Structure 1
Amino acid sequence: MWIMFIKIIFISIIAIILSFYYGDKSTDIISSLFSVVVSSKTLSNSTTRKLFTKKQLKLYNGVDKPELYISILGRIFDVTRGIKHYGPNQQYNIFVGRDASRCFVTGKFNIDDISDEVADFGNDDLRSLNYWLNFYKKEYKIVGKLIGRYFDNNGNQTPYGRAVKMMLKEAEREKEKDHLEKVKFPPCNVEWNVETGTRIWCSKKSGGIERDWSGMPYQLYEPGSKTYRCACINEHNEKLGSIKEYEDCDKSTFSCFIKGS
């Protein structure tokens, strides 16, 4: 308010000075200056998001206040237009007026399970949470930030908030790495029969990875791990990764029957 008042006084002084030098032309110049001040004020208001305490957010429940607000990872969204889902007595009303980030992944909607703690999540859960965050960013308007675990009293990210943000990015990077590995070493097809046991085989579409080669089933070991997964190995990639042949594999049919399965 005071800054705006000072700007107006400053422009008024300039207006008086300009009137001596430019006469009638000074009117257009002054008008432009005022437009810049007003537009900058409007822009500032449009980009400033409100900070909410937990007590304040709780009021936006469709009863105490007509709007419906939810929070995920400290970001507050207006979901009022989704009242048939989030309104009183509706399926997702448990999310309204609070940050229930954890519940988006766990699917536990009891009041005792409400929590915004997510730092113990694994990569799959973090990617699921990130999906929901991006969904709300796309579908609903962000109206503010919640003071607490993710943002401080000034609206800046807390150390916890920054840590979770980094975890989300790392989880997405791991997903990309996993996809690239599956392109190089596609998963095998698998079927089980009560009489013959488990059969694994490779095709040009096994593992959902389309390619111009089939490959042979091999045990592919992760670095430093004693566990393995079945992967289709191209003959040109047989020296890549830590692999081991399955017993009794029929290389003419690109398949194996696993004993004891």
Structure 2
Amino acid sequence: MDYVQQRLSQLASNPSTSSSTFFTPLNGLLLALLLYTSYLFLKPRPTPQWPKAPPATVFRTFTPRTLIEYNGEGDKPVYLAIRGRVFDVTRGKNFYGPGGPYSNFAGRDASRGLACGSFDESMLTKDLDGPLDTLEDLGPEELETLRGWEERFEEKYLVVGRLVACGEENK
């Protein structure tokens, strides 16, 4: 008990000793940590930003000349046609857009090329103002292949229009 009384009298006679035991490096570190945690908890948070909705897609009539603009260049969407139906394949831009393996079909009627399994330029419509390819000369195996492609596109992509020959837009 003698020690406790002696210590109390020392603290009473020297008040700076008691304050120096409170301000230790460990207590300073704990105080800084408490202040930093309080700041993180109480700081204002930015308002969450909702993603912008994609523009509405309107079903419209295309001609080969108006469809060719939709090849994915210049931030335009990527469309291609199969048997007169125009599909928005922008989600598959890495395949159908510029530099993709199927990029020659972008903005074009891809029916003959898909049916024949060919990416040749000869499979694409050359006369943009002429009649559409009727595909009459395709055999049953090629038509079956085309149907398979068409079903795949129906499952994955949205139909955004129909393809008609120039001059038939209003029919």
Q: Report the TM-score when normalising by structure 2.
A: 0.57
Q: Report matched runs for 1:1-261 at 5 Å.
A: 49-115=59-125, 116-148=133-165, 152-154=168-170
Asked if the contact 2:67/2:79 (under 8 Å) is kept, the reply is yes
| Rounded Cα–Cα distance in structure 2 between residues aligned with 1:91 and 1:80 | 14
Structure 1 pair 152/130, CA: closer, same or farther in 2 (3 Å)? farther
Give the aligned residue type for 1:97: G
Corresponding residue SS for 2:137: coil
Give the aligned residue type for 2:148: Y
Deviation at 1:71, TM superposition (A): 0.5
Deviation at 1:64, TM superposition (A): 4.4
- Regions of 4+ moved over 2 Å: 151-155
Give the aligned residue type for 1:113: M
Structure 1 pair 122/110, CA: closer, same or farther in 2 (3 Å)? closer
Give the aligned residue type for 2:63: T
Corresponding residue SS for 1:129: helix
Corresponding residue SS for 2:101: coil
Structure 2 residue aligned with 1:198: none
CA offset digits 1:62-105 (Å, max 9, x no partner): 11452000001110000001011111011000110010211102
Give the aligned residue type for 2:164: I
Structure 1 pair 154/133, CA: closer, same or farther in 2 (3 Å)? farther
| Rounded Cα–Cα distance in structure 1 between residues aligned with 2:169 and 2:66 | 14
Corresponding residue SS for 2:73: coil
**RMSD, matched Cα:** 2.4
Deviation at 1:108, TM superposition (A): 2.0
| Rounded Cα–Cα distance in structure 1 between residues aligned with 2:142 and 2:64 | 25
| Rounded Cα–Cα distance in structure 2 between residues aligned with 1:72 and 1:65 | 23
| Rounded Cα–Cα distance in structure 2 between residues aligned with 1:102 and 1:51 | 20
Give the aligned residue type for 1:89: G
Structure 2, unmatched stretches of 5+, are 1-55, 126-132
User: Over alpha carbons, which structure has the higher Rg?
Assistant: 2
Asked if the contact 2:113/2:120 (under 8 Å) is kept, the reply is no
Choose between structure 1 and 2 for higher RCO, CA contacts under 8 A separated by at least 6 residues. Answer: 2
Deviation at 1:117, TM superposition (A): 4.1
| Rounded Cα–Cα distance in structure 2 between residues aligned with 1:56 and 1:91 | 23
- In the alignment of these two chains, the number of paired residues is 109
Corresponding residue SS for 2:165: coil
Asked if the contact 1:52/1:146 (under 8 Å) is kept, the reply is yes
Which structure shows the higher strand fraction? 1
Give the aligned residue type for 1:52: F
Structure 1 pair 137/110, CA: closer, same or farther in 2 (3 Å)? same
